[in-house]
Structure 1
Amino acid sequence: MIRKARIHDAKDLHKILNGFAAQGKLLPRSLSDLYTHIREFVVWESEGTGEILGCCSLHIVWEDLAEVRSLAVVPQCQGQGIGTSLVHACLQEARELGLARIFALTYEIRFFEKLGFRITDKQVFPQKIWADCLHCTKFPDCDETAMVLDLD
């Protein structure tokens, strides 16, 4: 079941996201950062156990632009459509907000291509570069691929 994240989900999100960060697949997120941005997240909650099995965030960058980020699904549940459903939930919210474009920085190119995203140059997102990338440990040698989806 997909729902908006709640404050009490922050520690589960921290564990999931930083598990992937330890493998170099995502950037680490501090617990403080997750509390600050909890309203950006949707989660996939197991109906039977209430366990958080996946998450995704819609981060607004500019008046017409947002980023899908912090997409993660626990390893034992990957390949079941959870990630796709989480991204769709973020795209739906983006449409409701009136956003024109969504982008992602990713290693999972095929996954995002299946959702309609296309590869683009990172330089078309100067707001992202100045707001977030400058503080990243990988800057300026980012090895992620920028992908974009036009919503209008």
Structure 2
Amino acid sequence: MILRKAKLSDVEDMLNLVNKYAETGLMLPRSRNTLYEHIRDFVVVEKDEQIVGTGALHIVWGDLAEIRALAVAPGYTKQGIGKQMVVYFLQEARELGIPKVFALTYQPDFFAKCGFVIVNKESMPQKVWKECINCPKFPNCDEICMEINLDLP
């Protein structure tokens, strides 16, 4: 398996993967436009020339980033692919000097295994919520907010 930065040619596979889970209520949907606009945030995991995982590290501010749209294809779950992407994103955040990473999720057990803890959503700065206006669940967000503080020198 290869973890790499996403390319524009990956967008359709990424869209199908993320929205397959969104249809079942396990994550929020993403639009094609959003994926194109934020392609530089995304990575994919590829196996046998097939996209089996995707996710993004989105920088919110100088001290905060969000892991979003993390999805692993059915049939490839429980193989460490999701954790591999989280480890990649946390390393990327460290390299950028970002001390805190958060995720809004319906999968708190997964993020807890990656070292994240549940925090009150209201403790997050206003800038976190700027994209929520476009969410189908706004203003009744039922995702769980989790964060990890990185040890930076």
TM-score (norm 1): 0.94
Aligned equivalent of 1:34 = 35
RMSD, matched Cα: 0.9
**Counterpart-to-counterpart distance in 2, 1:135 and 1:38:** 18
Q: What is the CA distance between 1:25 and its match in structure 2?
A: 1.5
After alignment, is 137-146 or 79-88 more displaced?
137-146
1:134 to partner: Cα distance: 2.6
Q: Using the aligned pairs only, state the percent identity.
A: 49
Number of matched pairs: 149
The one-letter amino acid of 1:60's match is: I
Residues 1:55 and 2:16 are matched in the alignment: no
How far apart, in 2, do the equivalents of 1:19 and 1:123 lie?
29
DSSP 3-state at the match of 2:75: helix
Counterpart of 2:131 in structure 1 is: 132
Please report how far the alpha carbon of residue 62 of structure 1 lies from its aligned counterpart in structure 2 after TM superposition: 0.9
User: For structure 1, which runs of at least 5 residues remain unmatched after alignment?
Assistant: none
Q: Which residue of 2 aligns with 1:113?
A: 112
How far off its partner does 1:140 sit?
A: 2.1
Instruction: Tell me how far apart the structure 2 counterparts of residues 136 and 52 of structure 1 sit (CA, whole Å).
Output: 25
In 1: Cα distance, 2:26 partner to 2:59 partner? 22
In the TM superposition, residue 41 of structure 1 has moved relative to its aligned partner by 0.6
| Large movers: runs of 4+ above 4 Å | none
User: Equivalent residue of 1:75, what SS?
Assistant: coil
Counterpart Cα distance in 2 of 1:19 and 1:132:
21
CA deviation map 1:80-138 (0-9, x unaligned):
00000011111111111100100001111111111110000111222112x12232221
Match of 2:4?
3
CA distance in 2, matches of 1:94, 1:37: 16
Q: Deviations over 1:45-94 (max 9, x none)?
A: 00xx2100001100011110000000000011000000000111111111
TM-score, normalised to structure 2's length? 0.94
Aligned to 1:123: 122
**Within 2, Cα distance between the matches of 1:108 and 1:150?**
19
Q: Could you tell me how far 1:33 is from its partner in structure 2?
A: 1.3
